[in-house]
Amino acid sequence: MVVRKIAVKFDFSQILCKVLFNTMSNITKSAVVALLLAMATATLPLRAAKKSDAADEGQVALAVANWLQQAHYTRQPLDKEMSARLLNTYLEQLDYNKLYFTQEDVDEFSKKYSASLDQSILRGNMEPPHEIFTRFKMRVENRVASNKKLAEKNYDFKDNQNVELNRQKSPWPKNLAEADKIWKARVEAELLQEHLNEFKLRPPKETVIRRYDQALRNVREMEGDDVLKVFLNSLAQSYDPHSDYLSPSDMENFQISMKLSLVGIGAVLTSEDGYVKIREIVPGGPADRDARLKVSDRIVAVAQDQEDFVDVVDMKLDKVVEKIRGKKGTLVRLQVIPSDADDPSKRSIVDITREEVKLKDSEAKAEVLDVTAPDGKISRIGWITLPSFYANMSGDGTPKSTTADVDALLERLKKEGIEGLVMDLRRDGGGSLEEAINLTGLFIPKGPVVQAKDPSGKITVSSDKNPEISYTGPMIVLMNRLSASASEIFAAALQDYGRAVIVGDEQSFGKGTVQTVVELDKSAAALPFFNTERPQAGALKLTIQKFYRIRGGSTQSQGVKSDIVLPSRTDNPEIGEDSLKNRLPYDEVAPVILASNTNGENLFLEEMRNRSQKRISEDPEFVYVNEDMRRLRERIEKNSISTNEKIRRQEIADEKSRKESRKEERLARGPIINAKVRQVTLDDVKNHREDLEVVAYERNRDKKYNEEDPEETEDGKKTEQKLPEPDPIRNEAVRIISDLIDFSGLGKTVSTTKAQEVSAEPKP
């Protein structure tokens, strides 16, 4: 099932191991001039511009190639070596699980294009990627036709064969005959999965066949610009995993995710069985105030103002998204099948005026926790959850700033009298580099935060220039392997200054590179022959620097090591920079001089580590986590699933029994942490609300930040009302910050303070 959030946020679950990025790092003026001169002198094919909004794809490809060669951190030329890497990347982007192409296809394309794709791009010839995609489309069409025939057969599910789950590291099928064998087993496994599904909406055969039909529709709906996008993204990621080609719609989504607002109707949409369904209504948004759209309503057609309706059944979700978005104050009309309609042929029309909708779910948020220890002592702890390092970089709308928002929350938390602070950066994939530097400045003296090295080897030190410190009390930063980029800059600086204890997975993601975004249609020097009215060329997110800690080491690949490591379901080597292809290597630069009092001795790490390890060994929730991780490692190593119904039912029964036992054990022992929690939102701060909302400590705070059970079935994930499960990482973080408060001997927080400056001069 595909999910896209309109006017809420964008589903970043698909970017688990890539597309975790920093942006908007500055290139020096001289470097910009040099780049533009290089682009201006590049050889471009003198062909007429198309009379449409779309830019000539050959020119776009050439511009992307030139930017990568001239401005990427590695400055690697687009040569035969890169050509071979690009071909492999493109094939895997199209067929990531190696199920449609055969080794014969791959050998044929390698012989034809492995050493010549570079020249095709430099000549503006995009025939090779289209030829490869045409073969892929044919393979999908033929495979769907044969799979539907296989799905119509009767199976007794008594065979004991194992089906490989993840084929990304497997070889391509040798030929079509071997591919047939692979698919025969997969079809049987899918039918068995639906047969075992307790929440069946339709017969298993129908469900599986619909799934294949949808896969075929998705491929058939790919147009020329979609193919170009996949190919150019493959080209960019052949240089490193964090460089990307952004189509015009991708660029719009990127800007939305950074400024946390867009103009729309305020709904979360999902694609299911060819229909676009309402999955959620955003509180306070246009659809919420209108009150006619309901969850599970299906949208069948969309019209702009009084124009004719356009049928959107079986249309790609992205295209439906584009039709529903629009300018503020304009009208969009939706033809829907109401979720409560007795007659499925019933239609209703809902007209909604588009407005700006704030993406509240992605803003910083806070809590005040009054934690009662076993001895009866109460500690007041502030907890700030930061989903991303956002900033309004497009220049329109109300400015958004991570630093300003966190500073405002800190002021309220200090007013509440917190004694310690937890910054929760679990699953924070990064964002604005400038915000990472400025946010660090809220907690450290004036001084260096991060170093960056450009392609020429020049090192620049970025510093916090504000001498004021917003919070000086005890502090920990909570991270996991999904914390990346800007999160790592922030955590590394606080660790190097000895300002905070880093707690969580063994290490963070390990993304130590800096990206900038080049809007191609605004780069006249790069694209001089484009239609000057509206070329719609997209943009290139380009790796231009590597960043380094102020003590000299890079976070690239190695990430930020936790001072106190906690067992975690995300602490898996398959997650992180080291798992990505074409990653840049780890290296070091000279350290920056720091004041002598920033060695972390005031953090009592050894004592706190010993206390934490003792608690972990006795905490039943961490016993569960360790059991889950052992099973997960075994499952990853096995990488297969049985097509035998008896075996599968036993596995399901064992899983259900284990979960039921855990529920009973949790009920018997009660909550591990005794805490009263009050929620603090930015609206609370803005409106000076005195009475904060009291919420349960153990609750489904936000599905994005709760750890998922790695063995949870798809059926389980579809369950609407899930009971909140204890978050052992959160529990132990509360206990660690309580320890730090005790060790530090601080009663109340300290207000805004002037601090001693720290030298930013590198050692000779």
Residue 290 lies in a domain: yes
Separation of alpha carbons 392 and 387, rounded Å: 15
Q: In terms of domains, do 232 and 298 share one?
A: no
Residue 42 has pLDDT above 80, yes or no: no
Range 303-308 average pLDDT? 90
Q: Rounded mean pLDDT of 379-394?
A: 87
CB 752 within 8 A of CB 440: no
**350 and 312 in one domain?**
yes
User: Is residue 101 assigned to a domain?
Assistant: yes
Flag whether pLDDT at 1 surpasses 50. no
Same domain, 164 and 306: no
The percent of the chain in helix, strand and coil, each rounded to the nearest 5, is: 40, 20, 40
Both 234 and 311 in one domain: the answer is no
My answer on whether 91 and 224 are in the same domain is yes
Query: Do 285 and 196 reside in the same domain of the chain?
Result: no
pLDDT in tens, 119-157: 999 999 999 999 999 999 999 999 999 999 999 999 999
Task: Report which DSSP code applies to 285.
Answer: S
Q: What angle do CA 596, 600, 603 make, to 5 degrees?
A: 140
Residue span of the structural domain in which 226 resides: 80-239
Q: Which amino acid is at 69?
A: Q
> What's the rounded Cα separation, in Å, for the pair 728 and 707?
10
Q: Is 485 a catalytic residue?
A: yes
Q: What is the CATH number of the domain that holds 334?
A: 2.30.42.10
Query: Measured in Å, how far apart are the chain's first and last C-alpha atoms?
Result: 57
Task: Report which secondary-structure segment, H or E, holds 436.
Answer: helix 433-440
User: What's residue 249's pLDDT?
Assistant: 72
**Tokens 């380009």 sit on residue:** 542
The neighbouring-strand residues paired with 3 are: 270
695: CB partners within 8 A, 6+ apart: 367, 677, 678, 679
Mean pLDDT of 716-734: 74
For the cut 60, the answer to whether the pLDDT of residue 399 exceeds it is: yes
- 208 by DSSP, 3-state: which? helix
So what's the pLDDT on residue 532? 40
Name the β-bridge partners of 380. Answer: 370
214 and 95 in a common domain: yes
Scanning the structure block, which residue is given the tokens 């929760």? 424
Lowest mean pLDDT among 106-110, 162-166, 235-239, 710-714: 710-714
Pairwise CA distance, residues 715 & 704, whole Å: 18
- DSSP annotation of 586 reads P
- Identify the burial level of 690 via C-beta atoms within 10 angstroms of its C-beta, where 0-12 means exposed, 13-18 middle and 19 or more buried: exposed
**What pLDDT, on a 0 to 100 scale, did the predictor assign at position 355?**
82
Q: Quick one: tokens of 739?
A: 């320890």
In angstroms, rounded to a whole number, what is the distance separating the alpha carbons of residues 50 and 574?
Answer: 45
Grade residue 263 by pLDDT with cuts at 50, 70 and 90.
low
Highest averaged pLDDT of the listed ranges 211-225, 307-321, 325-339, 574-588: 574-588
Tokens matching residue 58: 């050959």
Tokens in use for 570? Answer: 């995300």
- Of 342, 358, 374, which marks where a domain is finished? 358
- From the candidates 297, 407, 496, 739, which is the catalytic residue? 496
What per-residue confidence (pLDDT) applies to 319? Answer: 81
Same domain, 270 and 216: no
Calculate mean pLDDT across residues 434-460.
95
- Tell me which of 309-313, 457-461, 477-481, 502-506 is least confident: 309-313
Measure the CA–CA gap between 739 and 385, rounded to whole angstroms: 20
Which of 314, 337, 358 finishes a domain?
358
The residue type at 532: T
DSSP for residue 172: P
SS3 for 693? Answer: strand
Could you read off the pLDDT of 617-664 as tens digits, one per residue?
999 999 999 999 999 899 889 999 999 999 999 999 999 999 999 999
CB of 580 closer than 8 Å to CB of 442 = no
DSSP 8-class letter at 554: B
Residue 410 forms part of a structural domain: no
Among 463, 485, 568, 612, the active-site one is: 485
| pLDDT recorded at residue 55 | 63
Cα 427 from Cα 533, distance rounded (Å):
40
209 and 144 within one domain:
yes
List, in sequence order, every residue forming a beta bridge with 272; answer none if it has no partner: 275
> Is there a single domain that holds both residue 118 and residue 175?
yes
50 vs 740: which has the higher pLDDT: 740
Q: What is the mean pLDDT of residues 321-344?
A: 82
Which of 358, 386, 416 corresponds to the end of one domain? 358
Average pLDDT over residues 201-216: 88
Q: Count CA within 13 A, CB hemisphere, residue 539.
A: 18
How large is the average pLDDT for residues 188-196?
93
In a domain, 373, yes or no: no
Q: What is the pLDDT of residues 416-440, one digit of tens each?
A: 999 999 999 998 988 888 999 999 9
How far is it, in rounded angstroms, from Cα 398 to Cα 282? 19
Tokens of 19: 């597309």
Cα diameter, the chain: 80
Q: Is residue 366 part of a domain?
A: no
Tell me, yes or no, whether 695 lies in a domain: no
Average pLDDT along the chain: 83
| Options 98, 511, 541, 546, the catalytic residue | 511
Is position 127 within any domain? yes
For 321, which DSSP code? H
Q: What angle do CA 29, 32, 34 make, to 5 degrees?
A: 110
Task: Calculate mean pLDDT across residues 40-48.
Answer: 29
pLDDT band at 402 (very low <50, low <70, confident <90, very high): very high
Q: What is the pLDDT of residue 2?
A: 32
* Tens of pLDDT, residues 288-297: 788 898 878 8
pLDDT-derived band at 342, boundaries 50, 70, 90: low
Between CA 523 and CA 549 the distance in angstroms is: 33
172 and 108 in a common domain: yes
Within this chain, do residues 105 and 164 fall inside the same structural domain, yes or no? yes
- Tell me, yes or no, whether 664 lies in a domain: no
* pLDDT attached to residue 236: 97
660-699 pLDDT, tens digit each: 999 999 999 988 999 999 999 999 999 999 999 999 998 7
Query: Could you give the number of structural domains in the chain?
Result: 2
**pLDDT band, very low/low/confident/very high, at 26 (cuts 50, 70, 90):** very low
Amino acid 17: pLDDT: 31
Give me the pLDDT at residue 66, please.
95
Q: What is the mean pLDDT of residues 92-119?
A: 97
Considering the entire predicted model, what is its pTM? 0.79
The answer, yes or no, to whether residue 83 has pLDDT greater than 50, is yes
Report the C-alpha gap between 445 and 757 in whole angstroms: 6
Give the range with max mean pLDDT: 256-265, 520-529, 702-711.
Answer: 256-265
